[in-house]
Amino acid sequence: MDISGRIDGTAEVRHLAGVLLREGGVAFDDYSEHAWTLGEIESGTAIEGLRFFDFRRYNERHRQPHIVRDTQRKPTSQVKRLAR
């Protein structure tokens, strides 16, 4: 299942995981390598500081610093003429 990230979707993903794991098994998300059990998902267990489908905390940990660009500088051409 692929969740786009444009909406939160946490409640829906946890509900679906609950339905799918009712008879046993484990679930994986994109934010940790942990195999999540239904009990861990329902109780909100944190493994290495992350809960199941904890995209917010994962993104906070892996956020890249913003790059400030110089908007005043004119672009320069990198095209070179070949000698004939």
Across 38-65, average pLDDT: 93
Residues 6+ apart with CB under 8 A from 34: 28, 47, 48, 50
- Residue 57 pLDDT greater than 90, yes or no: yes
Residue whose C-alpha is closest to residue 2's, from 49, 55, 59: 55
- Under the banding of pLDDT at 50, 70 and 90, the label for residue 61 is very high
User: What is the reported pLDDT for 14?
Assistant: 93
User: What is the reported pLDDT for 5?
Assistant: 62
